[in-house]
Every structure is written in structure tokens, then in C-alpha cells.
A and B are shown apart, each in its own frame.
Chain A
């Protein structure tokens, strides 16, 4: 029993060839198949020609690898009568995600900072409402928000969607920023106060330079969340500004013409590529983002 203080703290280590070990590894590998199969199937299907798709089953490797479905999915797959591919949706999602991520994080970090360092009377009441609001099904707020956005003159616009994403990202983001700023040593804040820095001075010169770990977590959380959004996309945008998820659904579930499964799967992968890339690059930080969301402060 060496290594008691580091590494996994499960049961004692065993030699690799024991029966119980075989069972453990066998079970893990079997389960891994369940989790990996869909990704594998998407990939191989997207690299087959339609003729080959019809002949084989979904798990068969492509005999002749082709990337035509990918090009078609990107630039000429049809949604109904329009055949423009996913490129437009990708750009829309990009234009939606970038400002939404920036605005929602900017707003929430200031909120969290105000709550952690400059509490005022009633601050916690609003914060509690905010956290409980996160559990109210979106369906209750969908329509009134349509009215509000229409009154503000931004319904169907990018600005409207940015507002919506900032609103619904606020509970979780405010929570993680508040917790992070509370965990910083109070002496820092006091020292800055004595040096005469004010609310914004401390925020920009002391807090923000120290918050890169939590900023990365927040960015991961928001980019994947907003990129994967579907509901707000269909409710609050016009068809020409639909995000990628909505366009993907329209392409694949379009009832016009013959189904091109290879193109559909290529389109599906392309849509999943952005969050997947973030997931594989960020690794443990992604897990920390989830944990930050799950384990309340």
C-alpha cells in the first residue's frame, strides 16, 4: 500500500491478472462501446457514398473513403427547398455565441464581484431568487420574453438572442464568480481599498487579473451551452439567422427528397465538432465547469 497520499483512493491495488480485475476491465470496455459506438457510426457513415450506405450496415467500415458528404453538408445540403448547407448556420452560431459569451460573462462576473465584495442590503434576496429562477422551466418565460424583446425592438435580432443567453446564463455564472471572488483572500481587497481603489478600480486591476482560472471555466461552460442551444434559437431568431443546431435539425429531418444519410451524419458531426473540440482540449477544466455548476456554494 504505497502511494497512500496521492492518486485514486479506491480499494487496494491488485495485480493485473486477477479474475476480479478481468471483470472490471471487461465491464469498462463493454460500457465504453456503448459510449463510443455513436461517434464511430457517425464517422464511418459520413465517409461512405450513399450506394455503400444502402448496401452495408452502420458499423461497417467504408470500402472507399469519400469526403464528399462533408462538403455537401457544409455547402449544399437542403433544408426544405433551400440548398445552402450548414455554412450559414455555422456563421450564425458563431455570431450568436461570441457576443453572448462575452456579454453574459461580463455581466455575471460583475454581479458575482458585487455580491462577494460589496454586499448591499437585499443583495442576497435577489441572488436567491436568481438561483431558484434557474429551476423554473424556460417554457414559463418564453412568451413574456418575446413580448419584452418586441417592446425593446430587438425581437428576432442578434441583440435579442444575446440578451436571452445572458439572462439564462446568469444564475450559474453569477454563482461561480461569486464563489470564486469570495474564496480570494480578503486582505487583497482590503489593501486595494486602503490604497484608494474604488468598485471598478478593484474589479479591473485586482480581481480580473486574478480570475483567469474561473474565466476559462465560465467560457467553456458558456461556449458549449450556447452553441448547443436549440430552444432559444428557434423561438427568438428569424429563419435566416437560425443557429447551427436548428439548421441541422431542419436538414436531417427535412421531409423533402431522398434521405442522404451520409450527408446527414457529416452535418451532425460538423455541428458537434465545436463543443467536442473544446471538450477534448479543456479536459479537466470541463469537468471543473460541471462541478462548479453542480456543487453549490
Chain B
């Protein structure tokens, strides 16, 4: 929609340009500027205040020699892998179930999605209570007569991250379900008819025909879940505060603690720059897929 032609293109659509100043500032100053600033200062020895004292890769060397960071990265990988697999699987499974023309579809959809409306803090605190060894699920089963039953992941170094996973899945799988359900409903009805004429059982249709057709939805879901995983912070703070010991520490929490309580800005900057690299590894292939793919389609 081209506006009236005026001689000077700088003043063309002037009102529109003025109205876009907040967006332009956010895009350039905040998203590009602040990110580059942090990346640049990750090469300095800043501690309490940012100081431009170049130390090269020192911060990164220290970072990768810090146990807590290594634990955080390992936790993120473990939690991230499992969260990705389970939330996609569970989300797709829930969507396929709801797609069976069941009664009360709306009720069940509401039930599966409501945790997504809750904050991570509420999620973390609720699951902390549910997994409490003295009162929670463990106590319930023991009360029912199985007195040696053990289920207290949050008090166990090795299992704590799985306790967080239980909460994360509870909160986030509904989102995947909604996306998948929209995808399933978008599948051409003829595909179903054709497959059924051939006598293929339902589960096989889902697995071998419908699933491959929903690739774009899966890509969207993967990107959404992945960005959520990298940001994970409040859930950990509320549910375990990184404990027991360091067993549920994550990178975002490392960054926060370095910047705002340990007065070790340089470390925080280096750690967050590393997080950016992780995101780029996900985003770059996705954007090629997304934009190159769309280009071909048109």
C-alpha cells in the first residue's frame, strides 16, 4: 500500500516512522545493542561494575573450569533432551486422544492446558509440596500399606532434576497439545478416508502418515519448547533453588547469581554469551528451514 508520492523519501510516511520509533529503538538499542554490549563485556574482567579492561577469553576459560557451570550445562542438556522428547510425545499423544471424537473434549482440553496459565513459581512450589518426602506422594503410598515405597526425587542429588522435569512437563505439555491438535484438525479428511480404505490401523495412520504431515507444526513446537528450556530459571528457583547441593543448577540461574549476587559481572556476561551461542545453534537452522522453505512454497 504505497502512500502518496512525495519528492523526499525521508519524509514519506513520516507519521508511520515516528510511530515506529519505539519498535526501532527496541530492535536496535535493546535487542542488538544490549546483546552486543554483553558479548563485548564478556571479554573484560568486570566484577562489581562493568569496566573496559580487556582479558580476552579468560572469563570463558574460568567458566568452563567451574564445576557449577559444568553441572548447569549438563543439567540443561539432560533436562532439555528429556523435556523436548516427553513434551512433544505427550503433547502429540494428548492431541491424538482428544481427536478421537470423545465426549467432553473441551473439558479435557481445559484440564490439560490450565497449568500453562500458571507461573513457573506457582508450578515449582506446588510440585515441591507434592514431592515432599514427609507429606507428599511418598507418604500417600506408604499410608496405603506399601511402607518401604520411596519417591522423593527432590531430596536426592541424582533424581532431583527429574522432579523438576515432572513439574516442567506438567506446566508446558498443554501448549504442545494445543499446537498438535490444531495440526491434526488441519489434516485433510481424505487422507483418513484413503488410509482407512486400505485397512491401515489407526495408530499406524497416526504414526506413519499423519505425523510426517505435521512436520511444520513439530518444527514450531520444537523451537518454542527449546527457547523455553534455555530460559528455565524461575521453576528452578522456586522448586529446588538449585539444590540439593548443586544438583539442579541451570545456566540462567548461574548468570543471574553471577551478575546480581556474586558481583562477578564478567562471568555472568561470559555465561550469557554462551547461552546465546546455544540459541543460535537452534535458531539458524530453523530460520533457514522456515524462510527457505516458505520461499520455495510461493
What chain B residues lie within 8 Å of A32 (beta carbons)? 108, 111-112
Cα–Cα distance between A281 and B259 once the two chains are bound (Å): 40
Asked whether any CB of chain B lies closer than 8 Å to the CB of A117, the reply is yes
> Do the beta carbons of A57 and B110 come within 8 Å of each other?
no
Asked whether any CB of chain B lies closer than 8 Å to the CB of A53, the reply is yes
Which chain A residues in 97-137 approach chain B with CB under 8 Å?
107, 110-111, 113-115, 117-121, 123, 126-127, 129-130, 132-133, 135-137
Nearest Cβ distance between residue A276 and chain B, in whole angstroms? 6
**Chain A residue with Cβ nearest B37:** A144
**Chain A residue with Cβ nearest B123:** A38
Q: Which of B67-75, B135-143, B153-161 contacts A (4 or more CB under 8 A)?
A: B135-143
Asked whether any CB of chain A lies closer than 8 Å to the CB of B130, the reply is yes
**Chain A residue with Cβ nearest B205:** A11
- Contact size range, B: 35 or more
- Contact size range, A: 35 or more
> Do the beta carbons of B227 and A135 come within 8 Å of each other?
yes
Nearest Cβ distance between residue B184 and chain A, in whole angstroms? 7
Is chain B's binding surface mostly helix, strand, loop or mixed? helix
Number of A-B contacts (CB under 8 A): 299
What chain B residues lie within 8 Å of A272 (beta carbons)? 118-119, 122
Instruction: List chain A positions with a Cβ less than 8 A from chain B.
Output: 4, 7-14, 16, 24-25, 27-28, 31-32, 34-39, 41-42, 45, 53-54, 57-59, 107, 110-111, 113-115, 117-121, 123, 126-127, 129-130, 132-133, 135-145, 147-148, 166-167, 170, 174, 186, 189-190, 198-200, 224, 227-231, 234-235, 245-246, 248-249, 252-253, 261, 264-265, 268, 271-272, 275-276, 278-280, 283, 286-287, 290-291, 294-296
Instruction: List chain B positions with a Cβ less than 8 A from chain A.
Output: 1, 3, 9, 12-13, 15-17, 19-20, 22-24, 26-35, 37-39, 50, 94, 97-103, 105-106, 108-123, 125-130, 132, 135-137, 139-140, 143, 170, 174-175, 178-179, 182, 184-185, 187, 189, 192, 196, 202, 220-221, 223-224, 227, 230-231, 233-234, 237-238, 241, 252, 255-256, 259-260, 265, 268-269, 271-273, 275-276, 279, 283, 287, 290
